[in-house]
């Protein structure tokens, strides 16, 4: 599977190089920004899951006692 991913990346890089600087730059920019947004989305989902798990772990009696 890894071999096919490497092969696909090599093919994509070759296609980007063949399209020229303007179109290749636009495609590359789209790929990079898409990866960044996807990463932020995944981090947000992980944070929501962690916060939800922490809230489920707390009992109501702990919440009524207060910090002191």
Residue 66: pLDDT band (50, 70, 90) is low
- Flag whether pLDDT at 62 surpasses 80: no
What's the pLDDT score for residue 3? 94
Task: Give 59's DSSP letter.
Answer: -
What's the pLDDT score for residue 46? 95
What's the pLDDT score for residue 31? 93
Per-residue tokens: 29: 């920019």
What counts of helices (H) and strands (E) characterise the chain?
3, 0
User: pLDDT tens digits, residue range 26-60?
Assistant: 999 999 999 999 999 999 999 999 998 888 776 55
| Cα gap 29→35, rounded to integer Å | 10
What's the pLDDT score for residue 14? 93
């Amino acid at each position: 599977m890894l071999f096919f991913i490497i092969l696909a990346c090599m093919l994509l890089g070759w296609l980007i190089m063949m399209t020229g600087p303007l179109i290749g730059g636009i495609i590359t920019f789209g790929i990079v920004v898409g990866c960044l947004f996807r990463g932020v989305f995944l981090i947000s989902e992980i944070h929501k899951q962690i916060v939800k798990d922490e809230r489920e772990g707390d009992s109501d009696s702990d919440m009524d006692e207060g910090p002191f």
